Amino acid sequence: MEIILAKTAGFCFGVKRAVDMVYEQVKESSPIYTYGPIIHNEEVVRDLEQRGVKVIEGMDELRKLQSGSVVIRSHGVEKKVYDIIEEQGLKLVDATCPFVLRIHKIVKEESEKGNRILIIGNNDHPEVEGIKGWCANEPFVVEKPEDIDLIDIKPDEKLVIVSQTTFNNKKFQDLVEIISKKGYDSIACNTICNATEARQKETAQIAKEADAMIVIGGKNSSNTQKLYDISKNECANTYYIQTLVDLDLTAFESASRVGITAGASTPNIIIKEVHDSMSELSFEELLQEEEKNSIQITPGKLVEGEVLSVKPEEIIVNINYKSEGVIPRSEYTNQPNADLTTMVQVGDKISAKVVKTNDGEGQVLLSYKRVALDLANDKLEAACENGDVLTGKVVQVLDGGLTVLYGESKVFIPASLVSDTYEKNLEKYMDQEIEFVITECNPRKRRIIGNRKMLLVAKKEEAQKALFDKIEVGMTIEGTVKNVTDFGAFIDLGGADGLLHISEMSWGRVENPKKVLKVGDTVKAFIKDIQGTKIALSMKFPEQNPWANAAEKYAVGNTVTGKVARMTDFGAFVELEPGVDALLHVSQISKEHIEKPASVLSIGQEVTAKVVDFKEADKKISLSIKALLPDDETEAEEADSAEEVTEAADVVEETTEE
């Protein structure tokens, strides 16, 4: 037979603390009284009675006491009980569970503001009775859905919801949902004890896997009854017992897997008796044994533990100590609104540093972030020494640079070291993952300096070397336009920039590079020249040279068509095709005398003319519209006229070159 014993079975922190305090009082003073049974377990109460501890049942008995110590049990009591103890001059030993004290504080403060209190729990349970006694006005108590209909609240009143610490978590959530749908102005505080929640979840899980379940606890224990109900829902063969005497072992003869859990008021000695039917330890000895096995903690100590419960804002950890450890969100991560339930799971192993041995509510305040910070700082120091490349997220943009989060450590990268070029606006880096190296590391002085520029420069040098190793003059290469100026464009070739001069952009005439190219364009060019790290590019590919077959296309006597590209006082230049311009002299526009070409022609106008001269070596072509017009003049006159045009063209060319 396989026996599965719940890790959360037995005394919770609050109960164990209360029982410890009573046993301590037995050693120090007498008489000793507990206001109600210290816990809902007859075995423990009987053992304490044998040691002289008496139980007071109500305020009337309390008022009759003349001397002695009164221990307030973990359930807590209403405020009147404290007042009577003070009035009678009795010694107060407050063993109220810190989780319950927290509820008392909430209901007192909220009710004094005029808000109405709604307690989800059993109206007759001592804990609920105590909570009601701290309310400044009449509270509501809800245990089941039909109780909600009895709520009588004014439209302008706010409803503050709390819960009995041992209430079923799922039922609590269901009731809160029903209340919210009623449209009340309400706020819910989930005050269910983390240990209770973890105990209930573990019980449900074990019950699903077991053939039979044993739930151990006092017959008056509310939280044990809830464990029984949860277990019974998952496993029909569930048995509720107080001690081993109540257990019929024959009921488990056919079971191959038996689960055991116990309420928060059940001593380990009874659990052990059920588990192995043997134990000679007294309650006090058992507590001493547990104390002996418990770790010793001090602020700054590193502890290992297992996650018992996770809420969006805190994590409860079993650190094998007399009280549990709590890691608030602020001590787990630097993310201000992080939901811890998405980051940690119940059962996870975790390392943390002790911040305080008592956080004010009886728990040990732990910090996971400080452990992570130490680890991150160790890595940063090693990275600084070894020159390792790290990656972190930019979490803050300052005037002087960037704050980058590495683990839980903050690295500052000055603006001058963010990039290898001037960065006017650093906001673009916010929330980005970036690489950097550590150039200075002093965690104690909180001075950790990063450098991103160094990496960018190194990468560019590496890329530049790789580029120059493979390129040569005449090679065709592709790149991206990085910048466009009046004299040309700079092309990013992936390691170095190449200059594409305006004169090399086209075989045709380019007036403005910005009308031809824009940043981001992909261009194909060939390398015209390399001088050191300077690369000259050209898009005037030889095979696309329009003059290659110009002698045939523009032979003297051919009729051609083109567009007026520009004009001067002595003539107009006609673009026959990109890269090929011809001069139409003013004397060759018409038979009639024309003062200026602009009086009869316009830029962009298409004209048809006759080639009257072609000089391939000088890339000069002369045109004549007049030669195409009907003419009675002699051929000699035409020849003389052609000679005049050629001479004029030479003069124009020389003037243009000057």
Domain residue spans of the chain? 1-97+201-293, 99-188, 302-371, 387-456, 471-544, 550-657
The closest alpha carbon to 562, from 574, 546, 545, 553, belongs to 574
Angle 72-76-82 from CA coordinates, rounded to 5°: 60
| Model pLDDT, residue 291 | 52
Other CB atoms within 10 Å distance of the CB of residue 145: 12
Angle 429-434-438 from CA coordinates, rounded to 5°: 120
- Judge whether residue 648 has pLDDT over 90: no
User: Distance from first CA to last CA of the chain, Å, rounded?
Assistant: 109
- Judge whether residue 654 has pLDDT over 80: no
Rounded CA-CA distance 530/535 in Å is: 5
Rounded CA-CA distance 340/475 in Å is: 59
The secondary structure element, H or E, covering residue 281 is none
The secondary structure element, H or E, covering residue 363 is none
Contact 116, 139 (CB under 8 A): yes
Rounded CA-CA distance 360/357 in Å is: 9
Tracing tokens 């100026």 back to the chain, one arrives at: 485
Q: What is the 3-state secondary structure (H, E, C) of 62-120?
A: HHHCCCCEEEECCCCCCHHHHHHHHHHCCEEEECCCHHHHHHHHHHHHHHHCCCEEEEE
Tracing tokens 């039979």 back to the chain, one arrives at: 212
Look at 195 and 616; give whichever has higher pLDDT: 616
Ranked by mean pLDDT, the top range of 108-112, 337-341, 508-512 is: 108-112
Lowest mean pLDDT among 48-52, 218-222, 492-496, 518-522: 218-222
Q: How confident is the model at residue 14 (pLDDT cuts 50, 70, 90)?
A: confident
Question: pTM of whole model > 0.95?
Answer: no
Evaluate whether 471-544 and 550-657 have a shared fold: yes
- Judge whether residue 523 has pLDDT over 90: yes
Q: The domain at 471-544 falls in which architecture?
A: Beta Barrel (2.40)
- Judge whether residue 541 has pLDDT over 80: yes
Q: How confident is the model at residue 282 (pLDDT cuts 50, 70, 90)?
A: very low
| Averaged pLDDT, 356-364 | 72
What does the mean pLDDT of the chain come to? Answer: 85
- Judge whether residue 653 has pLDDT over 70: no
Using DSSP, state whether 301 is helix, strand or coil. coil
- Judge whether residue 292 has pLDDT over 80: no
| Averaged pLDDT, 560-589 | 92
Q: In what order do the strands lie in the sheet with 257-262?
A: 2-5, 257-262, 212-216, 238-241
- Sequential DSSP letters for 532-596: TTEEEEE---GGG-TTTTHHHHT-TT-EEEEEEEEE-SSEEEEEEETTEEEEEEGGGS-SS--S-
Cis before 31 (ω within 30): yes
Tracing tokens 């998405």 back to the chain, one arrives at: 342
High-pLDDT (> 70) share of the chain, %? 92
| Model pLDDT, residue 18 | 84
Q: The domain at 302-371 falls in which architecture?
A: Beta Barrel (2.40)
Tracing tokens 């809902």 back to the chain, one arrives at: 40
Enter the DSSP assignment of 426: G
| Model pLDDT, residue 635 | 45
Residue 365 CA, distance from chain mean position:
24
- Strands 257-262 and 212-216, how do they pair? parallel
CATH topology of domain 99-188: Cobalt-precorrin-4 Transmethylase; domain 1 (3.40.1010)
CATH topology of domain 550-657: OB fold (Dihydrolipoamide Acetyltransferase, E2P) (2.40.50)
- Judge whether residue 204 has pLDDT over 50: yes
Q: How confident is the model at residue 631 (pLDDT cuts 50, 70, 90)?
A: low
Catalytic one of 127, 197, 202, 504: 127
Rounded CA-CA distance 483/481 in Å is: 6
| Model pLDDT, residue 288 | 54
Q: Is 110 tagged catalytic?
A: no
Rounded CA-CA distance 132/32 in Å is: 26
| Averaged pLDDT, 200-228 | 89
Q: How confident is the model at residue 298 (pLDDT cuts 50, 70, 90)?
A: confident
Contact 608, 560 (CB under 8 A): yes
CATH for the stretch 1-97+201-293: 3.40.1010.20
Q: How confident is the model at residue 650 (pLDDT cuts 50, 70, 90)?
A: low
Tracing tokens 């819960």 back to the chain, one arrives at: 163
Q: How confident is the model at residue 283 (pLDDT cuts 50, 70, 90)?
A: very low
Beta bridge partners of 234: none
Count helices and strands in the chain by DSSP H and E runs = 16, 32
CATH topology of domain 387-456: OB fold (Dihydrolipoamide Acetyltransferase, E2P) (2.40.50)
